[in-house]
Each structure stands twice: as structure tokens, then as C-alpha cells.
Amino acid sequence: MHKIYTFLKYTFITLWTVFIVAPFLWAISTSFKDFQSVNSKVTYIPWLDFEPTLEGWRVLVKSPARGGVDIVEPYFNSIFVTCTASLISIILGTLAAYALSRFTFKAGFVRNNDITFFFISQRIMPPIVLSIPFFIFLSTIGLLDSLLGLVVVYIVLLMPIAVWIMVDFFNRVPKELDETALIDGCNPYQAFYKVVLPNSIPGLIVAGMFCIIFGWIDFFFAFILTFTEVQLLPVKVVALNSSITPWWSLSASALISVAPLIIVAFVVERYLSKGNLSGALK
Amino acid sequence: MNFKHKFIFLFPGLFVLIGILIFPIIFTIRLSLSGWNSYTPEMNFIGITNYIRLFTDDPRFWESFFRLSFLSVTTVILQYVIGFSLALMVWREIKFKRFFRVIFLIPMMTTPVIMTVIWRTFFHESLGPVNDLLGNIGVKPILWLSDPVIAKFTVIIVEVWQWTPFMFLLLLAGLLSLPKEPFLAAAIDGASPFRKFVYVTFPLMAPISIGAIIIRLIEASKIMDTVFVLTSGGPGTATETSSFYIYIKGLREFQMGYAATLSFTYLVIMIISLTIIAKVLTKLMIKE
């Protein structure tokens, strides 16, 4: 009985791992192919099935004028927008989460939980519902097709995540901590800044990771709200997909676009295994 | 604690969020009562004409909505079952535990649209590896992207690949936070692994499961990116979801007024149905 169970377990894990890794292996292999090895028949293993070339990777750094795919600028745009929006969301979200976790709010029928729910419920909003008004709103104030406009929109996407994770995190930081600090003569801001915040680093990192993930993987808003001046990475790669770009440079640019966030998987796992995520994600 | 401090903490975030959102919402409601399109791009007032059109004369929207419900419910159920199994498997000591945990997390870190670009080549009907490998064992080429029924399953496969890790993450975090005592008690009673799961693990995990399912349902109800790149809603309208249909109406055909009507209706339906689902799940999964 026990043996069968173990066998099934490892079979399942192996199959799932293969399923997860398969598209990556395929993309890596494709990125080294040339016309012949993509279009004649399906090939898999370099040297054995086909002769690898570096062409797919070389075009990434060439300028468009010389037949390259200009991916460097979208790359930095994406990094800039994601990091700025995440940072602002984390700062505002953490402050709000602290207030919601420590103080009582009462206004009519509205209580703390209702305010927290208001923040988190913004995730329910389908992007398409917001995109049309945002389109008109940003063009009125002249921020359409600009990095700043995207940052503003991304704050709406990311702040709910920051509030969600930080409220739960602060609820687990003992109240006595701030109370002691207040008795010792700190004002509430000092208590927050000097005592609570340093004890919340794991929560902040987890919230930051999630903001970065959900900022980095967004496609729809970037697609609707930017055209030519500013391009983000996902939009750029999808644009390549619909043009005549050969599979090898498509695969190479896709791989290079998803690579940085894979590091995040390691960080998240570290915090998960240490048990820091458990409370934060409830 | 002093009265005013708490507002200084709360208000920046709250007002930034309300400030950014209030305009779009009011604007959408107002726009939905107008006939704004590419011929008359202005905010006139035509009453509830758009709503009448939606409820009496637009089967395509309702079809896309039921398709979306089917896709999101199916993917979330699959994600929950697979994610929970995976979480249970790497919860306790196994070989290479941390390695598997990282691997299982990776897909959610990758940009859906970009991975879908790769999936498109992966499922390519003549040059992709899936049909080639299946061909080697004698299976006829499957029309992954151009058959109306199979295309739905292709979307489901890609969605499950992409988002099972999120479910896995939430559930594993939950498992790791469970108290030890009930498991010790079950071990002393000599309960089999199956009974342990049914009577100890699952009931303890019920609240976390509900949370995870609701979060995933919220995100899955927005399925759009994958469909956009993988099939563009096709073949025909076979994989068109509500968001995608609204996108076509609003930003391709420029029937802004009508698209706003669709958006607002869609949002209201989403809020109502998610609330009901949350209530029902709580009833079903938490006994006592």
C-alpha cells in the first residue's frame, strides 16, 4: 500500500515537472534554430537534430534598422514601470494596512473590514472595464502613451495586493510592540517607523515580490494605453508574434523576457519554506 | 491612541485609490447611457437604449459570458485539485523538496502573454512538437487551435499551466501554517493516510481552500491575455470571453457607449456571482 502510494506520488511529480519544463525546453531549443530546422520538420536536440546558430539571440541587440528586434528599450521601460508602481503601492499600501490593523475606524456602517475589503475588491475589476475610461482619462490629461500614465494605472492594480498581504502580516505582529514603543516616548510615527517596520521585513519582501510579479506580467493595460512612444516588454513580444518574426528570435526574446522573474520564484520559495508566507497569505 | 494619527496612515492610500478609480467608474456609467460610437463620438444621452439592446438583442455577449464561466470554473477546479495534490506531496519531507517547490512555482512568475507566444509554436499543428510526438505513436494531427471544441481545451491547458502554481503557493503556505497537534492525535489513533486527509487535513484547510478558490476565480474571470494571443477568440467565436468581446466592441469597433454598458453589466454580474459562490462554498466546505 505504502509503496504504491510512493510510486504514484513520484510519477505524478515527475509528470508535472515535465509539463512545466516542456515549453521552456522547446523555446530554448527553438531559439538556436535556423530556417531549415524550423520549417522542414520538427527538430528537438541541437547538434543531433540540427546545427545550432546564435542568430535568434544576435538580433535581440541589433537595432531595428539593421534587421534586429529592439528589445532593450522595452526592457528598461518594463523595469521602470514595474518598480516605480510597486514602490509607491508598497509605501501607500503599508501605511494603510498599518492603520487598518491597529486603529478602529467607524463611519456610518463602514468598519475596518469594509475598508480592507474595498481595497482588495479592486482586484475583481476586470481590466477591460477600466481600460476604456482610462484611455479617455489619460488622453485628456496628456498622459496617454507615457510611462507616468502606466505607473498611475498600475498603482490601482498593485495596491490591493500590498494591502491584502500587509494587513494580515501586521495582524500577526504583536500589538505590545508598538505599545511599549509608545510608553517609551515614541510618537505613533516613530513607533511605526522604528519598531514595527523593522519587524515586518519578511512581509514587505513578500508583498514586494507579489507587486513585482503582477506588475511585470500585466499585458492588457500596456497594450491599450501605449502605442509608439513607450513600449513595454509583453507588448513588444506580442507585436513580434503577429509580425513575420521568425520563431528563433521570437523564442529568444520570450525567454529573455521571462528570465528575471524566475529569480523571484527562488526568493518566494525561501520565504515559503521558512514559514514566513503562511500567515501573510491567509 | 490619538484621533488624527490613524487618518494620516490610512488616507494617502485610500485617497490615491479612490482618486484614480472614481473617475473611470462614474464615467463608465455615464458612457453606458450614451450612443458614443465612431460616427457620433460625443456624450449624448440615449437613456437605457443600450441596456435594452444588451438584454434583448445580443446573444453573443451572453454566449461569451457562459463560455467564460465554463472556462474559469473548469480551470479553477483543475488548478485546485492539482495544486492541492502537489502541495500535499511536497509538504512533508521528500527528496529534492525545495527543488520541486521552486519548479512548481515558476510558471506564475512568467508573463502569460509571452508564454502563450511560446505555447502557440508548441501547439502549432504541423511544426509544433506536440503533434509531432503524438504522430510518432500513431496519433493523427490534432487541430489544437483551429477546432472550436479542442481550442477551448488548449486554452484550459495553458491556463492550468500558468496558474496552478498560484493555487499551489496559497495551499502550501496554508498547510505549513497548520497546527501539529491534530496530526499527532491522528497518528496515535493509527489513522490511515486517506482517513487522515479526510478527517484532519481537509477540514483544517477548508477556510484556506475557500480563500484560494475565490482569489483564483476572481483572477480567472479576467481570462483575456491567453485567449488574445493563443486564438484571438477564434476559431469563429469559440474561445471568445466576455472581456475579449467587450474589447472588440469598444476598442476595435469603437462602440464606446455600448461597450461601457457591457462593462458595467459584466462588473455587476461578477460581483454578485462571486459573492454567491463565496457564500455557497463556505456552506459546503465548513461543516458545524
Burial of B217 (0-12, 13-18, 19+ CB in 10 A): buried
Residue in chain A closest to B98 (alpha carbons) equals A269
From A13, A132, A279, residue closest to B177, measured CB to CB: A279
User: Is residue A66 assigned to a domain?
Assistant: no
Put simply, the answer to whether A12 touches B7 (Cβ < 8 Å) is: no
What's the mean pLDDT when you consider all of chain B? 85
Look at A124 and B270 and tell me if their CB atoms are within 8 Å.
yes
Distance CA A186, CA A218 (A): 41
Range of the domain at A269: 72-280
Same domain for A270 and A132, yes or no, is: yes
8 Å CB contact of B122 and A22: yes
3-state secondary structure B18-84: HHHHHHHHHHHHHHHCCCCCCCCCCCCCCCCHHHHHHHHHCHHHHHHHHHHHHHHHHHHHHHHHHHH
Residue to mutate among B93, B96, B117, with most A CBs inside 10 A, is B117
Phi/psi zone of residue B255: left (φ > 0), alpha (ψ -120 to 50 degrees), beta? Answer: beta
Which range of A20-29, A44-53, B44-53, B170-179 scores highest in mean pLDDT? It is A20-29
Residues recorded for chain B: 288
B31, burial (CB in 10 Å: exposed 0-12, middle 13-18, buried 19+): buried
Query: Beta-carbon neighbour count of residue B129 at 10 Å?
Result: 20
Residues in chain A: 282
Q: How confident is the model at residue B197 (pLDDT cuts 50, 70, 90)?
A: confident
**Higher-confidence residue: A129 or B66?**
B66
Share of chain B above pLDDT 70, in %: 98
* 3-class state of residue A110 by DSSP: strand
**Higher pLDDT, residue A30 or A49:** A30
- Is residue A276 very low, low, confident or very high in pLDDT (cuts 50, 70, 90)? low
Is A86 a member of any domain? yes
Q: Is residue A223 part of a domain?
A: yes
Say if residue A41 is in the same domain as residue A109: no
- Claim to verify: residue A27 and residue A129 sit in the same structural domain: no
Identify the DSSP state of A28.
H
For the residues of B233-249, what is the DSSP string, one character each?
Answer: T-STTTT--HHHHHHII
Q: Check residue A67 and give its pLDDT.
A: 65
- Taking the C-alpha atoms of residue A91 and residue A76, their distance in angstroms, rounded to an integer, is 22
- Note whether A32 and A87 are same-domain residues: no
**Distance from the A66 Cα atom to the nearest Cα atom in chain B, whole angstroms:** 24
* Structure-derived torsion over alpha carbons of residues B69, B70, B76, B78, reported in degrees to the nearest 10: 180
Spatial distance between the Cα atoms of A62 and A32, rounded to a whole number of angstroms: 17
Interface check A30 vs B, CB under 8 A: yes
Contact predicate A253/A183, CB 8 Å:
no
* Spatial separation of the C-alpha atoms in residues A250 and A239, rounded to whole Å: 10
Give the separation between CA A220 and CA A235, rounded to whole angstroms.
8
Share of chain B above pLDDT 90, in %: 15
Claim to verify: residue A49 and residue A77 sit in the same structural domain: no
**Smallest CA–CA distance from B135 into chain A, residue:** A42
**What pLDDT band is residue A18 in, cutting at 50, 70 and 90?**
very high
The answer to whether the Cβ–Cβ distance between A262 and B94 falls below 8 Å is: no
Asked if A103 lies within 8 A of B119 by C-beta distance, the reply is no
Does A177 lie in the same domain as A245?
Answer: yes
Quick check: B98 pLDDT over 80? yes
* Predicted pLDDT of residue A282: 45
The answer on A105 and A229 residing in a single domain is: yes
Helices (H), ranges, chain A: 2-31, 35-39, 55-58, 72-102, 112-121, 127-140, 147-172, 175-183, 188-190, 201-216, 220-225, 233-242, 247-273, 276-280
Give me the mean pLDDT over the B185-197 stretch.
81
CA distance B79 to B283: 21
pLDDT higher than threshold 80 for residue A109: no
**A261 close to A177: Cβ distance less than 8 angstroms:** no
Whether residue A126 sits in one domain with residue A11: no
Looking at the structure, tell me whether residues A145 and A14 fall in a common domain.
no
Residues A160 and A237 in one domain: yes
Phi, psi of B238 (to 5 degrees): -65, -30
How many CB atoms sit inside 10 A of residue A76's CB?
10
C-alpha distances (whole Å) from B229 to each of A180, A257, B75, B112 are 55, 16, 18, 9
Q: Would you state the cell numbers that stand for residue A232, as one nine-digit string?
A: 513595454
Chain A residues with CB inside 8 Å of B208's CB? 282
* ipTM of the complex, rounded to two decimals: 0.87
Mean pLDDT of B132-140: 85
Using CA atoms, how far apart are residues A158 and A85, in angstroms rounded to an integer?
7
How large is the average pLDDT for residues B121-140?
85
- Contact present, A170 and A196 (Cβ < 8 Å): yes
Q: Cβ contact (<8 Å) for B12 and A115?
A: no
Tens digits of residue pLDDT in A147-171: 898 998 899 889 998 998 888 888 8
Inside any domain, residue A158: yes
Q: What's the average model confidence in pLDDT over B237-251? A: 87
Could you give the dihedral angle defined by the CA atoms of residues B96, B99, B104 and B107, in that order, rounded to the nearest 10 degrees? -160
Domains and CATH numbers, chain B: 58-285 (1.10.3720.10)
**pLDDT 10s digits, A175-193:** 888 888 888 877 878 888 8
Same domain, A116 and A194: yes
* CB-based contact, A122 to chain B, within 8 Å: yes
How many independent structural domains does chain A possess? 2
pLDDT at res. B2 = 54
Does A78 lie in the same domain as A44?
A: no
Q: Given pLDDT bands bounded at 50, 70 and 90, which one contains residue A90?
A: very high
Instruction: Inspect the interface and report whether the beta carbons of B109 and A234 lie closer than 8 Å.
Output: no
All cell numbers assigned to B182: 491534530
Mutual angle of helices A2-31 and B59-89, in 10-degree steps: 120
Determine the distance from the C-alpha atom of residue B254 to the mean position of all C-alpha atoms in its chain, rounded to a whole number: 27
Decide: residue A197, CB within 10 A, 0-12 exposed, 13-18 middle, 19+ buried: middle
- What does the pLDDT look like over B217-239, one tens digit per residue? 888 888 888 888 888 877 878 88
Q: B153: Cβ–Cβ under 8 A, 6 or more apart, which residues?
A: none
Q: Are B110 and A262 in contact (CB under 8 A)?
A: yes
Q: What is the CATH number of the domain that holds A141?
A: 1.10.3720.10
B147, B235 contact by CB (below 8 A): yes
Residues of B in contact with A100 (CB under 8 A): 10
Q: What is the DSSP letter of B141?
A: P
A84 phi and psi angles, rounded to 5 deg: -65, -50
Residue among A128, A257, A278 minimizing CB distance to B114: A257
Residue tagged 459570458 (cell numbers):
B65
* Residue A103 domain-assigned (yes or no): yes
Instruction: Check whether A263 has a pLDDT greater than 90.
Output: no
What are the distances in angstroms from CA B64 to CA B189, B239, B266? 52, 8, 11
